[in-house]
Structure 1
Amino acid sequence: MTRQAITGARIFDGAEWHDRMALVIEDGKVEGLIAADSPTDAIRVPADGAMIVPGFLDLQINGGGGALLNETPTVEAIRTICTTFAQFGTTACLPTIVTDSVPVNEATIAAGIAAVEQGVPGFLGLHLEGPHLAVSRKGAHDPKLIRPMDESDLQRIVEARRRLPNLLITVAAETVGLEQISRLAAAGVTVSIGHSDGTYAQVKAAAEAGATMVTHLFNAQSQIGNREPGVVGAALDLPSLSAGLIADGIHVHPASIGIALRAKRGPGRIFLVTDAMSITGTDWTEFELTGQMAYRKDGALRLADGTLAGADLTMVDAIRYMHGTVGLSLDEVLRMASLYPAQALRIEATYGHLQRGARADFAILADDLAVRSTWIGGEKRFG
């Protein structure tokens, strides 16, 4: 692959900003930073007046561009999702399936394996959000499809992990056994607690068994109370847990976001997810989700009864919201969209930053955060 030097832009490498430097990439990886005026045999690619930032990682993305995995569990749908969100700076994602039947889960896993074999740009693995959840916190998931995890389910997930680079599964702390969580974690599956009415003690036990994340913090889970901290309290208090956050101004109040960020004990972090649906990136006004109609209105996606059904959100929009409304520094918000999800998935050695040896996954942004171009593995995929 041609050696290139991206010049003329401020560079955020995931830790700090660099001025008057060039980003040198070769063979799909970051070679390093050099002074912008240094002699080099690399082909210079101008990015005048822009920002170069690590590509965004989205660990919960149900659909986009008209494709929804639950409705069309195919490699073509995965490709559409990855291509659609590359327009918005996302360079790696976990296409996500919500609670569905065994055949749809099997078809989704088969599609994910095919996406790996075909080298779909931006495909990082799969997120299975259900069906082993709590009906009391079902959200938009079909309660008729929610069920306990049996041995065949566990074996299917373990086998899928052997053939996928990453596999994330959302389960309820009170409905999936600790031994099951332990076996999944031992097999390399990332276990996240979500759609759960679990107690603090139940989430703590799940974390000790191997769970490392909480799905869409504050939404579809037990809240903090004076005598029972619930899933939210456990997510913030337990250092080993990271948590996804839907920052669209609808799912979580900005004050609650600020409180959570100040309260979170590390090393686990709060990171951004979109929870986007097929309608994102289209001009549609409605879509179908596991047999239920959902409607787009006032920036939200809701079922007929008003239940939120995912989000109409891109990662760059979430970044704007966190920076402009919640008031976080831009560098910290960028880490929430890149480095922190990479750390949550334990792939930060090569993803989520632009330091030497990292994948050459990055976005070039204008001052207003509009995405000028998106690069995946050193190749321009948008712009």
Structure 2
Amino acid sequence: MEVSKRLEGVGEYYFSQKLREIDDMNKAGKQVINLGIGSPDLPPHPDVIKTLQDEAAKPNTHAYQNYKGSPVFRNAISKWYKKWYDVDLNPESEILPLIGSKEGIMHVCMTYINEEDTVLIPDPGYPTYKSAATIAGANVVPYTLKEENNWFPDFNELEKTDLKNVKLMFLNYPEMPTGQLPTKELFQQLIAFAKKHDILLCHDNPYSFILNKAPMSILSIEGAKDVAIELNSFSKSHNMAGWRVGMLSGKKERIDEILRFKSNMDSGMFLPVQLAAAKALELGQDWHDKLNEVYSKRREKVFELLQLLDCKFDRKQAGLFVWAAIPAMFKDGYELSDSVLQKSNVFITPGGIFGNGGNKYVRVSLCATEQKIEEAIKRIKN
């Protein structure tokens, strides 16, 4: 049986393959320390877990749910966006809860992309942008992000590109994998660029609270809703990766269009999960401060590990990872990653999985305890 043509050019996700290799090593007694995956190892707030337990124990919370999500959840998202990003969102028409923002990336692509359309994706950037756009039938064109340009798009280079068929542009700040923070000026440039060329911007914003004191939304910029939508997630900011809770925000017309596709794909999120997520959005600055205190200490340990490998990095980067340039003795990040894995039983992510622009880099996750990172350092020293 042949698979569909839409899967041509789309391979198995890198981490899916790598985790099998690591699992085989562990079965052989290697006890690999995984510093590659960005899956938070800390739990959600106890009040969030209790809300899930209490609501799930009720007999009337197990039915199919509204395709647009619970009004309680949508109102909580609206208040959260106003509090943290100073963005006004109508909870009735400008918010769509998602079963994780990764789902939203696919929904956006399937809603807007025809086979003749082009999608711009960041390089380096999250691999799902490319795979989702490819599955939707798009011509995928990377736009290169360079360290010397603060990992921002080069608008002069973009203007030289054939933009005639470009319909959608993915962006992601704080940027993954580089950890680069956005600026108001960057978002203004992106909005002006999108208006000029009639392009829909899809800003993916799951890292704005991690090691960052000033969370930003592209929707806070004047005129943004005319050309931009924003994905957000509970996975990193509230330690709820496995819960699969996210959201899409934007102009009513965009929400309605994407709902046309989404409503044919699922029947809404489990209500107790939505109500627990609403509780998570009530958490204040203390929650984020305590979480970032943990990540800050871990990051210092990761800096120590990377210095041991003679890698270069920016200490001011945000997000759940540290992005670092490899030493000249290695051909690329894959070679360094494989060397560390085979010699030290420590896995770090090669930057090349995020695009050609990441070939000379590696990425290290902060989702491991200080003790595990310290053990990784000892193994590499030995």
Q: TM-score, normalised by structure 2?
A: 0.30
Q: TM-score, normalised by structure 1?
A: 0.30
Structure number having the greater strand percentage: 1
Which has the bigger relative contact order, CA under 8 A and spacing at least 6?
A: 2
Structure number having the greater helix percentage: 2
